[in-house]
Structure 1
Amino acid sequence: MKKLINLKIGDFAPSQSSRSLTPEGFLLCKGAKLAKAPQVRNYYPEEFGGIEGLKEGAPFGVYTSADELFSKSTMASAEGKDATNSHPPGNQVNAATWHGYSIGDLSNVREEEGYLVGDLLIKDKEAIELIQTNEKIELSLGYGADLILETGVAPDGTPYHAVFKNIQVNHVALVHYGRCGGDCRVGDQNPNPEKTMKIIVDGIPFDVADNEALAAALKKEQDQLANLKAAKLKIGDQEFSIATELEVVQAVADKLVTDHKTLADKVPVLEANQATPEKLEAMAADRAAVIHDAKKLDPNIKTDGCTCEQIKREAVKAKAADALVTAVLGGVAIGDAKPDVIDTAFRALAATSGTMNPANNLFQPAKVNAGDANTDIDPGKKPETPKWKQPL
């Protein structure tokens, strides 16, 4: 637990407090909305002097529960406290600062419809003019509290990273802009149509005609944006902060898209190569035909555990001396020949198996008898002299 004191809280929405002037010229604002709960508001670590584990400049949500805000202790601490024109130094009113900052007091503190409500009696002339001209009408509590770092989700679905406990009100300040917009303020029971309202959109203040519906819509958009900035996105086993890691999230998403496309491109190929019953039957028939033809070429050829390409190569090797094999391979060794060449040789051998292969004579030189011997003459008999050689 980390305790922080004198923190500022602002919880704001259109108020219907009633303003009236007393005989002394003081401004009595009955039913002024001071705070609301349950609610998650965004703070920055540097507002608390830095918090270990939280990055400066990165907002984090702090949750205030209804049980805490409307506890007897919290409401009792607000009773009779001073109203100030802006927060005093150190965000605290005490005996040393009271005289210079107090502009009135707070009384009749109570809970009404989810709001911490009270009656403000504003005594300072300048502050009264600021309120009556609607130049400065929002309220912000100054209080001490314990800040406990723990994560959770508020009833409205907003995630938070810390909670306020043991709230003790010190003062209520009149401010231009409260932390969450125009929820808590001193209002007018009979609004002037020409008065303006301060609206903060993305940190930029605007003056708009007093339109509660418009203010509520803009406030809702602002809250949704704050929630989005604090949201986390989980992709697989990786978690990212949407507000600060969009580029990383985009890179992961791009990779998922690329991987999906790659797998999608492979699907047609996988489907085409899928071993259907028809394809398995055709493959079995082809293998049986290869084995049959190979056995015709060499009955002793090994086929068990061999692929069709291996069987064909072994069959061709068994007929390596065949002139047809020599012609088809073109001088390339059987072991180095490409599968399609081996297939051609195997088919040619299978087609001519068991018949006289005219290709062998085609690719071998013809036999020619060379010599002067006459094989029809008895070696012991003297050859006759041809008639044309006989003497006349």
Structure 2
Amino acid sequence: MMSQQPVDLARKLTLPLLVLYGLGVTIGAGIYVLVGATAAEAGIYAPISFLVAAVVVAFTGFSYAELATRHPVSAGAAAYVDAGFRSPPLTLTVGLLVAASGIVSSAAVSLGAAAYIADVIALPQTFLAIVVILIIGAIAAWGILESVTIAAIFTLLEIGGLGLVIFFGIKADPGILAKSLTLLPPLELSVWGGILSASLLAFFAFVGFEDIANVAEEVVEPHKTLPRGILLTLAITAVLYFLVVSVVVLVVPMSQLADTAAPLAFVFDEAGSTTSGIFHGISIIATTNGVLIQIIMASRVIYGLAKQKNLPAFLTAVNPVTRTPVVATVVVVALVLIFATLLPIAELAEATSTLILVVFCLVNLALIRMKRSEAAPSGGVFAVPIWVPAAGLLLSVMLLITGFLTD
């Protein structure tokens, strides 16, 4: 009997789907969930915290854009570190850190989804989070084109929801534009300490662009599509975040906003039950979308590590019908369930940010080593100057240190 040939992942993701995939996880993961926790740290200057986080992420985003075209494979960051350091233990560590960040992020966002659902259905939030995770896990195992198409539709609804936040925020307080100068922080150490501390939380809201690199084996024309997808995702996200967070902190009383898992709903308190209901529906979609995309990402990282022989071979199993890594997806869903039932949302978000910052440091350092030891890449590879990964490394280290000092 002939041995069965291994099944490869399906290459079906175009640039629009890839950008919507990236936007889906960044928007769903952060803006719908963490504005309150960020405002608790930075107060009215929370929008500046999001801008600081965007700057930190941007340099690393350019590094990822080059590395994704040099090595367009699943488990992207692990592959980049392997190419830069040639150290199997370090490669495995980075891969597991990335997978852990996706798992912990999914747990955090599932709690946000449960908080929005609990406003509509009077059931315990932990129970609702478990139901969300199980349903989303099934969708993730269904098929990459199907699951990412669903995620893309959800993402368009998310962006519409953010448009509603801006519109009703301005409608609730037409003088909001005149107050915009109050968002500029003074040059005081205590104020900037709060802003930088909040930036570690706000950084979580940008976790997503690097997920694009982890579906590289399912992208059409990866050398062209991957860098464009990464950079477009970052640019659109940064603009949306700044506008929305600015409106929210100027309209919603800080006492209401701080430490809530469903912060944007306050903007609609006086908008009427129909509008409020529509927004709650969009919020549920946005947060569940974040869970979906992070589960897809983490399962591909686990699959990629196993394919590189860094994890047990049974994790490389791809279902011949769905063309998805079903075993890796089941493992990821089980771990998300454990974390969602054990830890609160703010701790999960900070843990995700710390994990990703460590990965960013290593990825930028790997690119620096490649640029110093290898010839310049050819064949249409997107390339950046060496000072870009150097800046990404420095800024990531600074934000990591700030997080430890302000704990």
Q: TM-score, normalised by structure 2?
A: 0.21
TM-score, normalised via structure 1 length: 0.21
The structure whose residues are more often strand, as a share, is 1
Q: Which has the larger radius of gyration?
A: 1
Bigger relative contact order (CA 8 A; separation at least 6):
2
Higher helix residue share: 2
